[in-house]
Amino acid sequence: MSLSLYDITVPVMRHGLARLAVLLEKGEAHARDAGVDPAGLTGARLAPEMFDLARQVQIASDTAKGCAARLAGEEPPSWPDEEKTFTELRTRVARTIAYLDQTPRAAIEGAEDRIVTLKLRAGPVHFKGTDYVLRFALPNFYFHVATAYGLLRHNGVAIGKLDYLGPLS
């Protein structure tokens, strides 16, 4: 059996988002149990010029929904990036998972050569579907999920690699 673009995007990103939701739950529990201001965690950065935790979650969400939509030949839905609290961030993640769950396999099958255009500040960038997934969407998604993990861990949240990976069976 060969893997399709659907197989390496929608279920993979869905899993990553589900893990991100667990990390956010643990971050909120840490703030509550340690008497830490939750806004200090959702606003935390690894470096001054990097995005904070809330923005990392928003970009992971945008990457996942954008990937599914673009591969399906659709315009990605635009959601305002207003989430600041752990509850709002988990709601955003759940909404993204719901969007992925409604993306039919058939809409993405055969998208390997479909031209995907990203509208970046520097101008549009064009990819074939496979290159978009392997060179942009998946690396970008994992970068932001891993950075969210790193932010939480750096700020004392008791999480480990298995919280990021999830069950291995």
pLDDT in tens, 45-80: 999 999 999 999 999 999 999 999 999 999 999 999
Distance CA(46)–CA(36), nearest Å, equals 18
Question: Among residues of the chain, what percentage have pLDDT more than 70?
Answer: 99
- Give the architecture-level CATH label for domain 10-165: Up-down Bundle (1.20)
pLDDT for 169: 80
Supply the pTM of this predicted model: 0.96
pLDDT for 15: 97
Find, among 54, 61, 93, 94, the residue nearest to 78 by Cα.
61
Q: Structure tokens of 62? A: 């945008």
Distance CA(49)–CA(123), nearest Å, equals 22
pLDDT for 139: 98
> Mean pLDDT throughout 116-134?
95
> Mean pLDDT throughout 2-22?
96
Q: Would you say residue 93 has pLDDT above 80?
A: yes
Ordered by start, the domain boundaries in the chain are: 10-165
82: Cβ–Cβ under 8 A, 6 or more apart, which residues? Answer: 88
CB atoms within 10 A of CB 69: 19
